[in-house]
Amino acid sequence: MKEFIYPEMMVHVPLCTSKDPKKVLMISENASRFAKEMLKYKGVKTKAIEPCLNAISALEDDLYDVVICEMDSDIKLLAQIERISKEDAVLCITHPSLDEVDANKEMMKSLARYFKIIMPFNVGGNKTALLASKEYHPTADINLQRADMLDDNGYYNCDIHIAAFAMGNYIRKEYLGIIKN
């Protein structure tokens, strides 16, 4: 897999889903790989922290529009993300493979406590992430102008954005009632 696909998808999908992202929190051991993509958004403030609950808990109630998270989800993490995110926030979070049904169902049920929309999407190769949103649907509310105006992408565009959410019937059936769209 090309190295640029994953960071492009982890950044652009949530930022082009959010109505007007101004503040982005990146929870990652390697947030620098997202930095190049974040530079494409003028006027958006970013903060990067290590993926540990103590680092997230130490954040003030400084509300974020988008949270990009590479950390195993649990209820304590999600409660902290809820505390620091705006009413219409978008979360992009890594998760176990969609083949790990029980772990994913548990994670999606936890996300459902805080987010109205929860949808898996392809981030390149066989990897998927979850987009959780309090307000905006990733395919219905995509900001096409923002997505089309991004320069120097190797992979991401508005068509890829929408196509990334296409899932086979076996996944739809397995997660029926859990994926919230």
* pLDDT tens column, 123-172: 998 899 999 999 999 999 999 999 999 989 999 999 999 999 999 899 88
The Cα–Cα gap between 114 and 130 comes to 14
Structure tokens at 80: 């902290």
- Which of 7, 4, 8, 50 has the alpha carbon at shortest distance from 160? 8
Angle, helices 101-111 vs 75-83, to 10°: value is 30
- Supply the pTM of this predicted model: 0.95
The pLDDT tens digits of the residues spanning 86-122 come to 999 999 999 988 888 998 899 999 999 999 999 999 9
Domains and CATH numbers, the chain: 5-174 (3.40.50.150)
